[in-house]
Structure formats: C-alpha cells, structure tokens
Structure 1
Amino acid sequence: MTTPSNTPLRRLHIAIALSMVLAAMTALTPSAHGTTPAPLPGSARPVIEQFLLNQTAGLPGRVSITIDTPQSGALPPCEALEPFLPAGARPWGRTSVGVRCNTAQPWTRYVPAYVKVVGTYYASTRQIDAGQALAPADTERREGDLTKLPASVVVDSSQLNGVIASNRIASGSPVRREFLRGNSIVRQGQNIKVVTQGAGFVVSTEGRAMTDAAAGSLVQVKIQGGQLLSGVLRPDGIVERSN
C-alpha cells in the first residue's frame, strides 16, 4: 500500500516520464513552420532565372534570385520552355513565375521565386515632427532589401532637397515620399519675376503666382493683361521659361 508520504514522489516520477515522452515525440515530428523549400532542379531553373534577370534590369539595387520547387514537384522535361509572369505578379519580392511547355504535349506550371533587391534607401536619424523642414543630418543612407520596404521609400537623396515632413516620421524609420511635401518658397498671389530665355535673347516680366510652389516645380504666373505663363521655379524665386 502506498503511503501518503510517497505520493508526491510518484507524481514527480510520472511527470518526468511524460515530459521525456513528449520531448521525443516533438523531436520526431516535422515542424509545420520550419520547412525550407527545395531549390528547383533540372534545366528549367536557368531559363527562369534569366527571364527574371531580364525583367529586373534597371532596378535600383543588386538583384539576387531564388527559385524553389513548386508543391507539385519538379517540372517535367521540356525542350521549349516559355517563362511568363502571371496576371498581377511582378518580379519583386516573393512572386510566382509561370512556365509553359510548347510541345506536342503542352503543360503549364507555376514556380515560386523570390527576387531580392539590395539597394540604398534613406532613414530618419531622429524623430521628425510634421511641419519640420528636413536637414541633411536628419536622414542617413542605409542598405537593405528594398522588396521588404514600402514601395515609396526614398532611394535618391535629391528627393530630400527642400522638403518638409507632412507626417511625423519616427526615429530610425524609412523615409517615405508620401510623408514629405515641397517647401513652398512662393505663395499664391505673390508678385514674382518671370524670365524667358531663347536663342540670343532674354525677356523678363512680372506677375502674380497662381498657386503656392516649391523650388523645381512648375508654376503658373498671371502677368499684366491676364495672360498665363508657365515655368519652373528656381531656388532664387524666379520663374524660368525656355522658348
């Protein structure tokens, strides 16, 4: 007969045995989330890779491509492969590439791929409040996979010239174009000088700006007599036109 003093010890032994059994079962059971896709074997791989390289030519960064085996398995042999992008797919990040076999027994498969684009983008070095003008020290260049960042992330420093934050930008976050607006140096109704340049001549006149405008933007100016002239606003506040 088991005495009460032995009951806790027996419970401890049972708990240890159960934990060992559960640990062994966990080790033998494949993880549902840890499965690594297998690279695509066969001659279709270089064809798909070259197709994606052609599709990504001109992207702002270093492109690397991973092509995985579809869940249906390796592709059947084919001597006339034709890769294509399915409707709605694009060669950016995780994507899918269609492959047609144009033979007497045609088939079509869809192959998972990942297009990684490592490039430069800009992130804030401090919290920038809405309405604040961005100074050079407020952002820094970083390098990363652009496909994992917002599509509107700033990748060119020229996009940061003379801009104001239209939303609060958290410290260390990627700077996005929709969070910026131009720093208006001309206000609607302000008197402004318009310079028209042509072959061997320069003509200047004055008028009123029809809208607020930032440097580098196109602005309309109403001159005497009601005529509207359009030109590019220079940083010195003069509208420049070319004939």
Structure 2
Amino acid sequence: MSNFVRQQTTALPGKVAFNVDEIDSRINLPSCNDIEAFLPGGSKLLGRVSIGVRCNEINGWRIFVPVQIKVSMALLSSARPLVLGQVIHAEDLARQTVETSQSGGLSDASRVIGQVMRYSVSAGIILQETMLRAPYSVKQGQPVQLLTQGSGFNISGSGVALNNAAQGESVPIRTASGRVISGIAGENGVVNLMP
C-alpha cells in the first residue's frame, strides 16, 4: 500500500507525507496471491482519500483503506499589505512553507509578478489565483486603435473603449461613427477585430 501511495504522489509538488490507517481488525479477508491497489475514479491525491485494495483471484474481494496525504510546500504570500488594484512586484512577495491537505496557493513568482490584486489582503496571506487578475491593456474611455487583418488586407481605424479589458479579453468599442462593436484587447491600446 505504501509503495502504491508513494508512486501515485511523485508528481505532487513539494514534500509529500502520508499516513495509512490500520484496517479494522474485525475484517477477516482470505489470503490472496494477486493483490492490487487502485485509486477509485474521481479521487484526488490530497487530504483524506480512500485507496482501494482488491484481490484479483476467483472469489476475490475488495476493501478501501483510508489514507491521509499532506504536502509541505513553499507558497507565495504577501510580504506586506496589498491593496485592491495594486500591481504585484517581486518585493511584495514572500515564501511560506505550509502543510496543506487542500489544493491552492501559488508557488511560481513569474505567474504573480505583474498581476493586479482583485481585492486587498494583509501581510502573510497565501496568494491564490482568484486574488489576481491580468493588468488592463485597454481602459474605459481610452482612445484605441482598431485593427482588422485578413488574407491580403489590413484595415485600421479608431474608437473609444467602453470597458476595461486585459490582453486577450473582449472589449466593446464606440467607433467615430457612433457604432458599438466588439474586439479583442491587444497591447498598447490596440483592439483586434475579426474580419
């Protein structure tokens, strides 16, 4: 059982520790020469899980053994209070080694630096993906350049963004003629339109 759990958890980030609970001593299973451990469908290898053990012989049996799996890993946290709308810089980040039996938290600083806080947090809070958003590349009321490209043609125009949008997000634009169209926010105030 321990070898199976060790093998199944090798891909988990951080240091993995697990505890296999004892099988109830009242359970009396016949001996078996073809035993196989398995992970029931939909199970996650974190927290309290049940690992299946089955005998593959004729008149075989199957039981489930509770296992507690914990991962200790260095996650990113706020080095100081961070406020709504603040762009994250390297000096805003700290690392905390935490033992977790739940998924969540970010460990790769390159995924956090340059992102913007969705809400304020105090110092020492483990950062989650849901706390962050990409910076806006187009802001409401900003003049934008409209670009359309197709096979053998490029068309450009101008308009005004009606909402904020990060790069790759859809944004409504009011054109000089007053028409409202939608495009995809690009870099430096450029909005790409589909031909």
The answer to whether the superposition gives a TM-score over 0.5 is yes
- Structure 1 residues 110 and 238, CA, compared in 2 at 3 Å: closer, same or farther? same
Q: Deviations over 1:168-217 (max 9, x none)?
A: 31212211232334443423353311344567765433233343113x34
Give the number of the structure whose alpha-carbon radius of gyration is greater.
Answer: 1
Q: Name the one with the larger helix percent.
A: 1
Three-state SS of the structure 2 residue aligned to 1:112 is strand
| Change beyond 3 A, Cα 1:139–1:185 | same
Larger relative strand fraction? 2
The Cα offsets for residues 82-131 of structure 1, whole Å up to 9 and x where unpaired, read as 43334663111332212222222222222222334344421111122334
CA RMSD of aligned residues (A): 3.5
Give distance in 2, aligned partners of 1:63 and 1:78: 33
| Match among 179, 190, 194 for residue 238 of structure 1 | 190
CA contact (8 A) 2:164 2:171 kept: no
Q: Which residue of 2 aligns with 1:125?
A: 79
Aligned to 1:6: none
The answer on whether the counterparts of 1:49 and 1:67 sit within 8 Å (CA) in structure 2 is no
Give 3-state SS (helix, strand or coil) of 1:46's partner: helix
Q: Which residue of 1 aligns with 2:67?
A: 113
Q: List gaps (5 residues or longer) in structure 1.
A: 1-43
Asked if 1:207 corresponds to 2:159, the answer is: yes
Instruction: Map Cα deviations across residues 33-52 of structure 1 (whole Å, 9 max, x no partner).
Output: xxxxxxxxxxx4434543x2
* Counterpart position of 1:187: 139
Corresponding residue of 1:154: 106
Residue in structure 1 matched with residue 123 of structure 2 by the alignment: 171
Number of corresponding residues: 191
**Alpha-carbon contact 1:207-1:221 (below 8 Å) kept:** no
Please list, as runs of the form range in 1=range in 2, the aligned pairs for 1:21-170 lying within 5 A after superposition.
44-50=1-7, 52-53=8-9, 57=11, 59=12, 61-62=13-14, 64=16, 66-73=18-25, 77-86=31-40, 89-145=43-99, 147-148=100-101, 151-170=103-122
Instruction: Name the % identity.
Output: 28
